[in-house]
Structure 1
């Protein structure tokens, strides 16, 4: 898997990556994104949870082979996204997040 390719796909789509960690958490890898309608758009862009059902061109369709070894995690709601993002301190501390404008 090429991590840069996956990050580039999100950036080309127009999402802002405000937090990113590469580590092996107990259950899932979290990436934090912001954008208009980000949950619905990101989940469509990421692809079906089961990579065998994910459309070609999606992250999971192109890079994943098995549900238990997903290459990216997508929150299922804004509320869960905020929780996973670390508003409650689960994955990121507030000082680890950045704000930027896409050029």
Structure 2
């Protein structure tokens, strides 16, 4: 990644995205925005991985339901690069609750639930690095510059 404003973030398409067959719709939103998917895989989250990913929530009363949900079906994990990717992706997702998310956001358009809110995205650079390390090995990243990059942003961005 060339400049300081370029970032990499983790995005998880949760079990409800997979079950509802919204994978392509959600991915196309990120691609249409000009973000680069540099790693992607489908997997089952194990209880162990869930505890690592949601470590700050393990002792909270809602955690058992969260673990049950995230391990209930496959997910798609993606590493996404772009200018200010962490904030851009989180803005694209909308509020955590699909009931409160603005129309035009992924959750606002597709979710009507607090927990079944389709997508997870890292909330900051440290979280992004920690979470990317949970889901991907360094060799799994496929960095590239799309040929249309010059049409998506200025050369000094």
| Change in CA separation of 1:76 and 1:9 when aligned onto 2, cut-off 3 Å | same
In 2, the alpha carbon distance for the partners of 1:44 and 1:23 equals 25
State yes or no: 1:63 paired with 2:110: yes
Give 1:32's aligned residue: 79
Give the number of the structure whose residues are more often strand, by fraction: 2
Other-structure match for 2:61: none
Match of 1:73 in 2: 120
The yes-or-no answer on 1:47 pairing with 2:94 is: yes
- Superposition TM-score, scaled by structure 2 size: 0.58
Cα 1:65–1:22 change in 2 (3 A) is farther
User: 1-side partners of 2:112 and 2:42: how far apart?
Assistant: 20
Q: Give the TM-score of the pair, scaled to structure 1.
A: 0.85
The equivalences for 1:12-27 within 5 A come to: 12-25=32-45, 26=50, 27=67
The runs of 5 or more residues in structure 2 that have no matched partner are: 1-19, 51-66, 148-157
**Equivalences, count:** 100
- Between structure 1 and structure 2, the one with the greater Rg is 2
